[in-house]
Amino acid sequence: MRRGPPRDLLAKLWGGPPELTLGGVVLTVNGDGALVERRLAGGELACPGCGGVLGGWGHARPRPVRVLDRPDAGLVPRRSRCRQCGATHVLLPAWCLSRRADAGAVIGAALEAAAAGAGHRTIAAVLGRPASTVRGWLRRFAARAEEVRAFFTVLLARTSPDPVMPAAAAGPVAAAVSAIAGAAVAVAQRWPELGTVPVWTAASAASGGLLIAPGWPGQGRNTS
Ligand SMILES: [Zn+2]
């Protein structure tokens, strides 16, 4: 840690680029626009490609993001351009997941329900989403559940001075969801000054927005 609790602490825990990203997206844990502008102006955001300083570069196309229990959020992602290599990157708040039309909390709610034994049709009805969409999330997550569990268990162990490992859970999906919740608690305890970081925001940040992206986390990466 360079200083205090970094706003993008979950990304920093992995020692990767200060703003973890893949696919041209830079994730900021606090998506608050004024803060992002200050960080851009202050040269605090680094290019994921070369480490150069990112400057403002207009905005991406507005898009709705579906959230829980509220009307869709209108997201107008800020774009940035690297002053060194010229690459452009979208700045995405961590309550979103990369390339997903639903906020992390929506997908997280589906995963929690699945961990508790609900099927995709039931979950889809409760969340008001198409069954095929929910089935897609659950399949994607289930396919990587053991890797996800390992990733967040390592994060939990590294974050907490006295880690309490999640209790045994019924099946790999439940175990992975339990590890995610445990890691979020450990982060909140270690950096109380961060305030509340919702579990699925923490999960999105830790995964660089890739929580249910293909191939994440890579096998063997960060799990030793
Ligand atoms: Zn660059």
Q: pLDDT, tens digit, for every residue of 10-49?
A: 444 444 333 444 344 566 655 567 777 888 888 888 887 7
Interior angle at CA 181, CA 193 and CA 101, nearest 5: 95
So what's the pLDDT on residue 105?
93
So what's the pLDDT on residue 81?
92
Question: Strands, E, within 5-62: which ranges?
Answer: 25-28, 54-59
So what's the pLDDT on residue 224?
37
So what's the pLDDT on residue 108?
97
So what's the pLDDT on residue 92?
81
Asked whether the predicted pLDDT for residue 212 surpasses 80, the reply is yes
Distance 11 CA to ligand 1 centre (A): 18
Distance 41 CA to ligand 1 centre (A): 16
Q: Which residues pair with 88 in a beta bridge?
A: 81
Distance 135 CA to ligand 1 centre (A): 37
Decide: 188 and 10 in contact? Cβ < 8 Å.
no
Per the prediction, the chain carries an average pLDDT of: 81
Helical spans, DSSP H, in 42-80 = none
Pairing of strands 73-75, 78-82: unpaired
Q: What is the mean pLDDT of residues 157-174?
A: 83
Distance 30 CA to ligand 1 centre (A): 22
Bigger pLDDT: 35 vs 115? 115
Which of 57-61, 109-113, 160-164 has the lowest average pLDDT?
A: 160-164
So what's the pLDDT on residue 138?
97
Q: To 10 degrees, what angle do helices 199-206 and 145-159 make?
A: 100
So what's the pLDDT on residue 30?
55
Q: What is the mean pLDDT of residues 101-123?
A: 96
Say how far apart CA 140 and CA 215 lie, in whole Å: 9
Distance 179 CA to ligand 1 centre (A): 34
Distance 220 CA to ligand 1 centre (A): 27
Asked whether the predicted pLDDT for residue 7 surpasses 60, the reply is no
So what's the pLDDT on residue 28?
61
Distance 58 CA to ligand 1 centre (A): 17
**CA trace torsion 127, 167, 144, 14 (10° rounding):** 100
3 state SS of 4:
coil
The 10 Å Cβ neighbour count of residue 49 is 15
Distance 103 CA to ligand 1 centre (A): 28
Distance 47 CA to ligand 1 centre (A): 5
Residues with Cβ within 8 Å of 198's Cβ and at least 6 positions away in sequence, in order, are 95, 105, 184
Asked whether the predicted pLDDT for residue 8 surpasses 70, the reply is no
So what's the pLDDT on residue 127?
95
Distance 32 CA to ligand 1 centre (A): 23
So what's the pLDDT on residue 40?
86
Say how far apart CA 17 and CA 54 lie, in whole Å: 13
Distance 115 CA to ligand 1 centre (A): 40
Q: What is the mean pLDDT of residues 133-157?
A: 94
- Please report where in the chains the tokens 């639903």 appear, as a residue: 102
Distance 208 CA to ligand 1 centre (A): 18
Nearest to 10 by CA among 197, 146, 221: 197
Distance 85 CA to ligand 1 centre (A): 4
Bigger pLDDT: 180 vs 160? 180
Residues with Cβ within 8 Å of 173's Cβ and at least 6 positions away in sequence, in order, are 111, 114, 115, 138, 141, 142, 145
Q: What is the pLDDT of residues 51-66, one digit of tens each?
A: 889 899 999 888 899 9
Distance 97 CA to ligand 1 centre (A): 22
Distance 75 CA to ligand 1 centre (A): 25
